[in-house]
C-alpha cells in the first residue's frame, strides 16, 4: 500500500508539472501586452528588452485580449503553442515569432472558433503553422516561411475552417506544407489577395500550394493578384486546386494571378461550381513532366454538367496541356452572350504535339474570339490544329471557335512598360499615354461582358464613357498588341 501511495504521489506531482506548462489569462476582460503576461506569470514569458521568450503554452481566454502594438521579437521554446479564444491583435511595425532553437520548432498557433484575429507586419517562422478555426481572421503584410509539419496544422501552413478570412499582401514561402488549405467540407470563402507564394509543400505531397474545399454560396472565394511560383524540386506541388467532393458548392473568382512553374496551374474538381477565371498568366506548369499525371494550365473535372466556368483574358503558355476538360466538365471561353474570350495560348504541349484545348467530354464548348497560337496571325485552320475535340474523336463534344481573334502578334514589352492611363478611379473619361498607337479601346465587366468599345483616330488619347460605378477591365488595342488594365469607375 505504501508503494502504491508513493507512486500515486509521484504521478500527481508529475501531472501538476505538466499542467503548469500552460498559462491561461484570467478571462476577466483584460487587454494585455506580452509585458503584462510576463508580470502576471514570470515563468511563462522572460523579457529582455523587446525580446520575449515564451517558455510555456499560452492561452488567451475568451474575454481577454493579447495586443502587440510595439515592435517585438517573440522566441518560442520547443513545442510551445499559442491558443486564442479571445482576441489576438498584432499591429506593430515589426513583430517576429521565431523558434528559440531553429532545430526545435514550436507548435504554432491555434485560433479557436469565435476568436478575433488580426495579424499585421509579422514574421512567422520555424513553427507548426496557423490553425484557423474562427470566422474572424485577417493576416496582412506578413512573412510566413520555413514552417514545419506536425505542429498546429496538418494540411497547410495557414489552415482555414470557416467564414470569410482575409489573407492579403503576405509572403508565404518554403514551408513543409501547402501555403493555404481548407477542409473538403469547410465552406470557406476567403479573400487571398496580393500574396507572393513560392516553393511551398517542401514535403512534396500530392497537394497544390493553395488547396481549398467547398465555399459559401452567398460569398465568393476570391483569389486575386497573387504570384504562385513553384519549385522544380517539389514535383507533386500544383498551383491552385478547389474541390467539391461532398455535395457542397464552389463559388469563386480567380483573377489577376501569375501561376508559374508548378505541377499544374489551376484545377477545379467536382460539380456545382460557378467560377470566373480571368486575367491570369498561367505559364510553364510542367515541372513533373508527365502529361498522364498533370501539367494542365487549367484542368476541369466533374461528374456532373452543372458547372458554370467562365474564362477570359487569360494567358496560357508553356504548360504540358493548355486547358483540359474531363468527365462532364464544361467551360465558357467566349460566346455571343457577353463573354469576350480573348484568352491567349502558346506552346502548350507534350510529345511534340500542341494542345491548347483538349475537350475530353461529350459537351459542346463555346470558345469564341481567342488567340490559339500566339505570335502569328490565326486562322480557323490554325485553331483546329491545336484543339482536340469532335473533329479528332467522334465521341467527344465539339469546340466552337469561330471567330478567332489574335491581336498578340508581337508582344512589345517596352510598349507595355511605357504605357499609363489616368485618372483611376475615373468618372466619365480616361486618358492614356503610350509610345505606340492605340487603335481601339474596349471596356468589359469583371465577368467578361463587353459594355463599351470605341475606335480611335490617330493620336487620340481620350476615351469618354458613361458607365455605372464599379470595377472594370480596359483593353487597349494596338496594331500588334493588347494591354489590359483594371479601372474603377466612380
User: Domain map of the chain by residue range?
Assistant: 20-151, 414-489
The DSSP string of 178-207 is -SEEE-TT--B--EEES-EEES--TT--S-
**Which pLDDT does position 408 carry in this prediction?**
44
> What does pLDDT average to in each consecutive run of 10 residues of the chain (490 residues)?
39 37 97 98 97 98 99 98 99 99 98 99 99 98 98 97 98 99 94 98 98 97 98 98 96 98 98 97 98 97 96 97 98 94 96 98 97 93 98 98 74 65 92 87 89 88 91 86 87
Q: What angle do CA 216, 468, 439 make, to 5 degrees?
A: 110
Grid cell for residue 318:
508553356
Instruction: List the beta bridge partners of residue 301.
Output: 269, 326
Residues 6 or more apart whose CB falls under 8 angstroms from that of 432 comprise 419, 420, 421, 422, 438, 461, 463, 476
As a whole number of angstroms, the distance between CA 86 and CA 74 comes to 20
Give the β-pairing of 450-455 and 438-445.
antiparallel
**H or E stretch including 9?**
helix 2-19
DSSP 431: E
- Tell me if residue 250 falls in helix, strand or coil: strand
Dihedral in degrees, nearest 10, Cα atoms 349, 355, 359, 360:
-40
Instruction: List the beta bridge partners of residue 432.
Output: 421
Any idea which residue has 486546386 for its cell?
241
Please tell me the pTM assigned to this model.
Answer: 0.90
Least Cα distance to 219 among 253, 186, 266 occurs for: 253
**Which pLDDT does position 415 carry in this prediction?**
56
Count CB-CB contacts under 10 A for residue 261: 20
Give the β-pairing of 191-193 and 221-224.
parallel
Phi, psi angle pair for 453, to nearest 5°: -150, 150
Number of helices and strands in the chain (H, E): 4, 49
Query: For 386-425, b where at least 16 C-beta lie within 10 A, e where not — what string?
Result: bbbbbeeeeebbebebeebbbbbbeebeebbeebebeeee
As a whole number of angstroms, the distance between CA 447 and CA 278 comes to 8
414-489 fold: Immunoglobulin-like (2.60.40)
Least Cα distance to 128 among 101, 106, 161, 100 occurs for: 106
CB 464 within 8 Å of CB 428: yes
Which stretches within 20-72 are classed as H helix? 34-40
Grid cell for residue 300:
476541369
Amino acid at each position: 500500500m505504501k508503494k502504491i501511495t508513493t507512486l500515486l504521489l509521484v504521478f500527481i506531482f508529475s501531472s501538476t508539472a505538466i499542467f503548469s506548462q500552460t498559462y491561461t489569462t484570467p478571462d476577466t476582460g483584460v487587454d494585455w501586452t506580452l509585458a503584462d503576461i510576463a508580470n502576471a506569470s514570470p515563468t511563462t514569458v522572460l523579457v529582455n528588452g523587446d525580446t520575449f521568450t515564451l517558455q510555456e503554452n499560452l492561452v488567451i481566454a475568451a474575454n481577454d485580449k493579447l495586443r502587440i502594438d510595439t515592435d517585438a521579437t517573440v522566441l518560442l521554446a520547443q513545442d510551445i503553442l499559442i491558443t486564442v479564444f479571445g482576441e489576438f491583435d498584432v499591429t506593430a511595425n515589426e513583430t517576429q515569432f521565431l523558434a528559440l532553437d531553429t532545430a526545435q520548432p514550436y507548435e504554432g498557433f491555434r485560433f479557436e472558433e469565435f476568436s478575433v484575429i488580426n495579424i499585421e507586419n509579422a514574421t512567422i517562422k520555424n513553427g507548426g503553422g496557423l490553425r484557423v478555426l474562427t470566422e474572424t481572421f485577417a493576416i496582412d503584410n506578413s512573412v510566413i516561411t520555413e514552417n514545419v509539419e506536425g505542429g498546429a496544422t496538418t494540411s497547410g501552413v495557414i489552415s482555414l475552417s470557416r467564414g470569410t478570412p482575409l489573407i492579403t499582401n503576405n509572403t508565404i514561402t518554403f514551408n513543409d506544407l501547402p501555403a493555404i488549405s481548407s477542409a473538403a467540407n469547410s465552406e470557406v470563402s476567403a479573400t487571398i489577395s496580393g500574396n507572393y507564394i513560392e516553393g511551398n509543400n517542401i514535403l512534396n505531397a500530392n497537394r497544390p500550394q493553395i488547396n481549398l474545399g467547398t465555399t459559401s454560396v452567398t460569398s465568393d472565394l476570391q483569389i486575386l493578384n497573387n504570384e504562385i511560383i513553384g519549385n522544380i524540386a517539389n514535383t507533386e506541388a500544383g498551383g491552385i486546386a478547389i474541390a467539391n467532393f461532398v455535395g457542397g458548392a464552389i463559388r469563386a473568382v480567380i483573377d489577376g494571378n501569375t501561376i508559374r512553374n508548378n505541377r499544374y496551374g489551376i484545377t477545379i474538381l467536382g460539380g456545382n461550381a460557378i467560377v470566373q477565371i480571368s486575367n491570369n498568366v498561367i505559364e510553364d506548369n510542367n515541372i513533373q513532366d508527365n502529361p498522364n499525371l498533370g501539367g494542365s494550365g487549367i484542368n476541369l473535372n466533374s461528374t456532373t454538367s452543372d458547372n458554370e466556368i467562365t474564362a477570359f483574358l487569360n494567358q496560357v503558355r508553356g504548360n504540358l496541356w493548355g486547358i483540359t476538360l474531363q468527365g462532364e466538365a464544361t467551360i465558357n471561353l467566349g460566346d455571343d452572350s457577353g463573354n469576350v474570350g480573348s484568352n491567349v495560348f502558346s506552346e502548350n504541349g507534350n510529345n511534340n504535339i500542341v494542345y491548347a484545348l483538349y475537350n475530353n467530354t461529350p459537351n459542346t464548348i463555346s470558345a469564341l474570339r481567342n488567340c490559339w497560337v500566339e505570335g502569328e496571325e490565326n486562322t480557323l485552320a490554325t485553331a483546329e490544329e491545336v484543339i482536340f475535340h469532335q473533329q479528332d474523336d467522334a465521341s467527344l463534344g465539339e469546340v466552337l471557335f469561330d471567330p478567332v481573334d489574335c491581336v498578340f502578334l508581337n508582344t512589345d514589352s517596352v510598349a507595355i512598360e511605357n504605357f499609363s492611363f489616368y485618372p483611376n478611379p475615373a468618372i466619365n473619361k480616361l486618358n492614356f499615354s503610350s509610345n505606340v498607337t492605340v487603335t481601339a479601346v474596349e471596356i468589359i465587366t469583371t465577368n467578361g461582358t463587353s459594355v463599351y468599345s470605341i475606335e480611335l483616330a490617330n493620336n487620340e488619347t481620350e476615351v469618354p464613357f458613361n458607365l455605372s460605378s464599379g470595377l472594370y477591365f480596359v483593353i487597349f488595342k494596338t496594331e500588334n498588341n493588347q494591354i489590359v488594365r483594371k479601372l474603377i469607375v466612380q
